[in-house]
Amino acid sequence: MMKLDASVMDKGMERILELSADAHIRRRWVAKESPEYYNLTGAIAAYGKTLELLTALQQWEEYYAMIAEHGVPGEVAVC
């Protein structure tokens, strides 16, 4: 399993949050029924899904680190 550098993961998550916040702000100034409004809404949803995925990866990494710390093989712990 490839281990992700925590600082890279944190920077990536921080950047996604910044992009999402910018999209939220821009969406406030756009007409609600315009194509741009729906594009921004889709982008915001995509940012949320990406954050969800990165958070899940982070949790799995923490889980396997905890398992390794206690000396239980990962294959046994998953079952």
The predicted-structure confidence for 2-31, as pLDDT tens digits, reads as follows 555 678 888 999 999 999 999 999 999 999
Of 68, 58, 67, which Cα lies nearest the Cα of 8? Answer: 58
Residue 38: per-residue pLDDT:
97
The answer to whether residue 63 scores a pLDDT higher than 70 is yes
Would the CA dihedral through 18, 25, 46, 48 be positive or negative?
Answer: positive
- Domain residue spans in the chain? 6-78
d(CA 30, CA 57): 34
Mean pLDDT on 46-59: 93
Q: What predicted TM-score, i.e. pTM, was given to this entire model?
A: 0.73
**Which DSSP string do the residues of 54-65 spell out, in sequence order?**
HHHHHHHHHHHH
Query: What average pLDDT does the chain have?
Result: 86
